[in-house]
Amino acid sequence: MTTFVRTAYIAGALTNVPPELRELLQKFYVELGGVCREFGFFPYIPHIYADPKTAPHLTKTQVDRIDRLAVTLSYIVIAYIGVPSTGVGIEIECANHANKPVVVFYEKEKHEARLISRLVRGNRAIWHEIAFKDFEDAKRKLRKFLTRFCKKIGSENLPEPLSV
């Protein structure tokens, strides 16, 4: 029997983030993954597999390969861009090259203060932007987007991207 897996890649800053913010963001990424699960997506959350603090044994080449494969195999990329991150920029560009839709998240006040990169936001892979006031608002808005997104992909009658 073949089972189809739809993966949502959850991208967000990990390296060079202050410890108190890092813990909060990691929890946020897991919560975004939980929302994706509600819609039938398996969330690939990089810090679970290749966090620089908990998986220091992985080489830079291994991390690059793991994350590029995960982006390529994903159905959608969910990216938090409220904290500058070279890695997230690379993940978004990988999604662009793999023709994967990207949803970006950032705090509304950071956007209003012009602290969110226009270069990242201008990437052709970005289907939707979510400016939020707090993490609960972000999750509520992600649910609203995924409701529309799942209807759209359901109506396209595309073959499943990955089977296990």
In tens, the pLDDT along 22-71 reads 999 999 999 999 999 999 999 999 999 888 778 899 999 999 999 999 99
Read off the tokens for 94: 């990988």
Residue 1 pLDDT grade (very low, low, confident, very high; cuts 50, 70, 90): very low
Distance CA 76, CA 153 (A): 11
Q: Is 134 left (phi over 0), alpha (psi -120 to 50) or beta?
A: beta
Q: Is position 73 within any domain?
A: yes
pTM higher than the cut 0.85: yes
Q: Is position 38 within any domain?
A: yes
Q: Is position 63 within any domain?
A: yes
Kind and range of the H or E run holding 127: strand 126-132
Q: Which domain holds residue 90?
A: 6-155
Distance CA 79, CA 130 (A): 10
User: Into how many domains does the chain fold?
Assistant: 1
Contacts of 51 (CB under 8 A, 6+ apart): 14
Closest C-alpha among 78, 69, 66, 86 to residue 105: 78
CATH number at residue 48: 3.40.50.450
Q: Is position 83 within any domain?
A: yes
